[in-house]
Amino acid sequence: MFDQPTVFLDVETTGATANRDRITEIGLVEVNGGTLVEEWSTLVNPGLRIPPEIEALTGITNAMVAEAPSFESLSTELHRRLEGKLLVAHNARFDYGFLRNEFARAGLRYLSKVLCTVKLSRRLYPQERRHNLDSLIERHGLVCNQRHRALADARVLWDFAQRIRQELGEETVQTAVTHVLKTPTLPPRLDAAQLDALPESVGVYVFYGEGDTPLYVGKSLNIRSRVLAHFSGDHRVAKDMRIAQEITRIEWRETAGELGALLQEARWVKRLTPVHNHKLRPAEELWALWWDVMKTVPPKAVSASAIEFAVAENLYGPFRSRARANRTLREIADANGLCARAVGLEHGGTGPCFSYQVGKCRGACCGRETLVSHNLRLAQALHRLRLEAWPYHGPIGVREADAVSGRTEMHLIDRWCYLDTVSSESDLHDALEARTERAFDLDTYQILSKWLKRHPAMAVIDLAPAVRS
């Protein structure tokens, strides 16, 4: 940041969605070698009305921008001012996203190394809870004469850079900057143009090697940043070193959000079976423990081929093998003083079970504990593994939208199986008509059940009526 041409930039906009809203003001502070070179700012006619709440926040009114130049008319000069320079912005994904969209509309391609001062502040001051611009101004004693005006906010970022250098020293700051930027080393067999084309959006990516062999599938909230991190100079992960030597091309798919990326990642790993992914690969057979607390029979391991996991009650798991199911039951019994015979791990015999003889059973096998008490403790121990039956009448759609890009998608799920992702009503009907019966999918179950619990307000649409019609 202190030894290269740098631009500290802020933009004001008509809203928060980069592909729909527009820039209303640009302010930048150009620095080289740690010395101020030039300041530049301009209002921009966005070509649409500024909402009243945005006028109130920024002080930029529709009357002020009525005679201002359009972004397209400014694009060539602004591109020249930014080209080849490190771009520093606060919550940089926002500013950079707007710039790239505006330049694209003007027919110009803009790519830059981007340093986010939110991330830099978190790296340097991990003990602090807040890292928004107002918090930085207060914490570091900075001065801002017009908050939410582009040049004033850009000046604050330049002042912040100077202040942290004074407080922490240039070496500490530069180390943090290097970490945040994660400068990549180009893999020897990968075309640099592929890295340049990577989008800065949420989605999934695939690395391919010689003979188009799938090497690795990954997901990220920022595909470009995550891919470049694989090739950072330190290569702390041995897997990344191997990938860097083998990779020949990259494929990716943008999604509307993190849920779509998680679902697509699981699907691609299963379909492509990449060399360096193991966690999401399909299991040959799924198992669970079936047990009804109201009955006297002990738990038993059952397979997905024998019982439909998506709708069955009283299932606990799932597990990737029968041995894993029984091993988990053994661990639960030992940890909770349960009787090996009562849970079905020891067969035959009379009197105390072996676990009781070695002090691991409280005596349900020999009258020291009632079976009712024993089973209540077993139910409590198994509760965390309870497999939730599909709670809907049929397929559902989970709607997801990206506020920055404006992309909206609907993920189609039925009985814990990921069917497809669509972005239009016609695609929705086609996907529902083409759906076929699929086996219970462990990864989709884990992804979606956790996601819906963490995001209860997420839009879930019952598609059963659409199927019946």
Between CA 6 and CA 243 the distance in angstroms is 32
Helical (H) or strand (E) element with 217: strand 214-220
Cβ atoms of residues 410 and 419 within 8 Å: no
Segment 153-177 shows an average pLDDT of: 94
Between CA 429 and CA 189 the distance in angstroms is 43
**What pLDDT does residue 235 have?**
43
**What pLDDT does residue 237 have?**
57
Is the pLDDT confidence value at 3 over 50? Answer: yes
Helical (H) or strand (E) element with 109: none
**What pLDDT does residue 37 have?**
95
Cβ atoms of residues 190 and 182 within 8 Å: no
Apex 411 CA angle, 410 and 412, nearest 5: 115
Between CA 152 and CA 331 the distance in angstroms is 62
The per-residue pLDDT of the chain, averaged, comes to 89
Between CA 11 and CA 97 the distance in angstroms is 11
Between CA 6 and CA 84 the distance in angstroms is 9
Q: Which tokens hold the place of 445?
A: 């179950």
In which band, very low, low, confident or very high, does the pLDDT at 234 lie, cut at 50, 70 and 90?
very low
Cα 171 off chain centre by:
32
Q: Which comes out higher in pLDDT, residue 22 or 233?
A: 22
Q: Do the strands 6-13 and 86-89 form a parallel or antiparallel pair, or are they unpaired?
A: parallel
pTM metric for this prediction = 0.62
Who's near 197: CB < 8 A, 6+ residues apart? Answer: none
Secondary structure tally for the chain: helices H, strands E:
18, 15
Is the pLDDT confidence value at 238 over 70? Answer: no
> What does the pLDDT look like over 425-436, one tens digit per residue?
778 888 887 776
Between CA 160 and CA 140 the distance in angstroms is 7
**What pLDDT does residue 295 have?**
83
Smallest Cα–Cα separation from 51: which of 66, 65, 42, 61? 61
The gap between the terminal CA atoms of the chain, to the nearest Å, is: 61
Is the pLDDT confidence value at 248 over 80? Answer: yes
Segment 232-260 shows an average pLDDT of: 81
- The residue assigned the tokens 């943090």 is 176
Q: Which comes out higher in pLDDT, residue 97 or 171?
A: 171
